[in-house]
Structure 1
Amino acid sequence: MLFQEKLINVVKEKCETDPRISACMMYGSFTKGEGDIYSDVEFYVYLKNTEMGQFESSDWMKDIAPYDLLFFNEFGTEVVVFSNLIRGEFHFQPESEIEVIKTFKETGVFPDTESMFIYDTTGKLKACLDDLKGDGPERMTNENVNFAFNNFVNAWIMGINVLKRGEIARSLECLTYVQKYVLQLIRIREKNVERWLNATKNLEADLSEKAYGEYASMTSRLDKEDLYHAYANALNVVEGLVLILADDYQFDINLMFLKKLRAHLRNDRLPLM
């Protein structure tokens, strides 16, 4: 049994014996049949409303497994790093907010909602999880294609401009956003959009060899000339995407606009090809 599976069992047992806990659900890889030795464990733990003020998550965590670090990340999620370096994410919320679970439907597909159920005394958790069943949100839409194209342009121009200014590190950061939006468009083209919000996840298995090569061509070292090549290659990929996606989608940018971007790219002394 994987360490993570043992953790899941311990969390379930702890919820069942702690009178302060009203309900608990799990999300992430282990609810999608994708959990392995490298996966995180992730939970929403709902407390009785009267217990929120006194509850100490650090004490509660110590009974699950030894850990080295416990902190809140930038999204307000409590992250625990267990002593064997397995990560856990825990959201401790009042019972009165349990129906927020229904909003998760907007984030993707939940193929096995029964595996998400850990514990419940409210009688509401199963109904909330049942609400997540079925197909996820439609990703292959004009709105999403236009959003990805437009945000690609925004990230691309900013990345090139700071590169020309000499901010190489900042340009490399901008390139990650360029890659994100191009990758979403590639997933649209390949009709593989289940991981729309986390477009790099399982990329090696999800995409065709051609698509993976396109993504690889947009990667770069922290080097000015290498970055220029990556931004140029991103334009090449996007030009091909415009030609293909124009048959099925409506969006603002066109090949003439991309030629203007290419001219802006070439307005520099570094060789591009």
Structure 2
Amino acid sequence: MSHLSSPSTPPSPSSACSASPALDRRVARLRELAAAEPRLTGVLLYGSWTVGEADAHSDIEAYLYVEDDALAGFDGRAFVERLAPLRLAYTNLYGVLAVVFDDLMRGEFHVVAAGPGIAEIDSWRGMVHLPRPEAAMLLDRDGRLTEAAGGLAAFQPPEPVETAQQLADELANWTLMLAHVLARGETGRAHALLHTVVAPFQLQLCRLLRGSTAHWLTPSRAMEADLPAADLARYRATTAAARLPEVRAAARQSWRWSRELAAEAAARWGTGFAPELHADIAALLAGQEPTG
């Protein structure tokens, strides 16, 4: 599916079902278990299932809103294990219950107190989109979740000017660090910086300029469908195996693309542009002495 014809608007599911029968069954089972658990006041799904993009490789992701005074005694793992047998369950670095079911489906479950948890939903505007909140809500005992999630029905693309400035500045800063790391000869660290730090900012700025912000939080998602072929080719030129000459070449290609994206943003939105700094970073990446 290509979103280039309407790039700023994410796909909207035509029904509550996905292209993954296994995930649909697990969602239905979660709805059933939640209704039977009196300590739960609400359950809200998020992720690909809620926007009609789920497939056989998709996860199940949900917020479990527990009565405030019952949270301490609520065993999230035991509840989730009733969905299906677990092969792995642990609390990840973000405090989220992460699981792997017996069929290798992944799951993420935020087990939170209902009061502050539901109140927090308003802060998700512009980051989380629920085109059909009623399909994402598996349980709402008192109406609070319905009211809060309703505010996420309208898609809100990022504000372009401040966002473009932030991303352009991030790209300059992190690419300068990349240049210093490469000069030190730290191939592995440079490779990681290029692919895990610089590339996401680059893809976000590219998406902002192309009006394709539906997958903003994970800018590499569906990029083959969302972005023009020319941008995909530029991105591919920024990738490399973890060998020093190849990482150096990819870093130079990456910075060339970043500079062009930043210049395009400056021309369109009047964002700040620092040609002298940009030239000095390019010189460092080329192994030359900067002029500044």
User: Taking structure 2 as the reference length, what is the TM-score of the superposition?
Assistant: 0.87
Q: How many angstroms does 1:28 deviate by?
A: 0.7
Q: How many angstroms does 1:123 deviate by?
A: 1.9
| Cα deviation 1:117-172 (Å, max 9, x = unaligned) | 10111221111111212131x42422111111111111111112112212111111
Work out which structure has the larger RCO, using CA pairs closer than 8 Å and 6 or more positions apart in sequence: 2
Aligned to 1:27: 46
Q: Distance in 1 between matches of 2:67 and 2:213?
A: 38
Residue 274 (structure 2) aligned to one of 254, 258, 262: 254
| Cα deviation 1:46-102 (Å, max 9, x = unaligned) | 112222121112221221101111111111111111111111110111222222222
Aligned to 2:253: 233
Matched, 1:55 2:74: yes
Aligned to 1:271: none
Aligned to 1:158: 177
Matched, 1:16 2:51: no
Matched, 1:46 2:65: yes
Kindly provide the amino acid, as one letter, of the partner of residue 144 in structure 1. Answer: T
Residue 130 (structure 1) aligned to one of 150, 155, 161: 150
Alignment of 1:93-112 (within 5 A): 93-97=112-116, 98-112=118-132
Q: Distance in 2 between matches of 1:257 and 1:165?
A: 20
Q: How many angstroms does 1:237 deviate by?
A: 1.0
Q: Distance in 1 between matches of 2:144 and 2:128?
A: 21
The question of whether the paired residues in 1 share the 8 Å contact of 2:183 and 2:287 is answered with: no
Q: Distance in 2 between matches of 1:242 and 1:59?
A: 49
For the residue of structure 2 that corresponds to 1:70, the secondary structure is strand
- Structure 2: unaligned runs, 5 residues or longer: 1-19
Aligned to 1:218: 238
Aligned to 2:104: 85
Kindly provide the amino acid, as one letter, of the partner of residue 267 in structure 1. Answer: G
Aligned to 1:118: 138
Q: Distance in 2 between matches of 1:184 and 1:133?
A: 22
Percent of counterpart pairs with the same letter? 25
| Cα deviation 1:205-244 (Å, max 9, x = unaligned) | 1001001111111111111011111111012212322342
Q: Distance in 1 between matches of 2:266 and 2:124?
A: 31
Q: Distance in 1 between matches of 2:212 and 2:21?
A: 30
Kindly provide the amino acid, as one letter, of the partner of residue 133 in structure 1. Answer: A
The question of whether the paired residues in 1 share the 8 Å contact of 2:238 and 2:251 is answered with: yes
Matched, 1:186 2:195: no
Do the aligned partners of residues 49 and 243 (structure 1) sit closer, same or farther apart at CA in structure 2, a change above 3 Å counting? closer
User: Taking structure 1 as the reference length, what is the TM-score of the superposition?
Assistant: 0.93
The question of whether the paired residues in 1 share the 8 Å contact of 2:77 and 2:97 is answered with: no
Aligned to 2:6: none
Do the aligned partners of residues 103 and 248 (structure 1) sit closer, same or farther apart at CA in structure 2, a change above 3 Å counting? same
Q: Distance in 2 between matches of 1:243 and 1:95?
A: 46
Kindly provide the amino acid, as one letter, of the partner of residue 229 in structure 1. Answer: A
The question of whether the paired residues in 2 share the 8 Å contact of 1:140 and 1:188 is answered with: no
For the residue of structure 2 that corresponds to 1:247, the secondary structure is helix
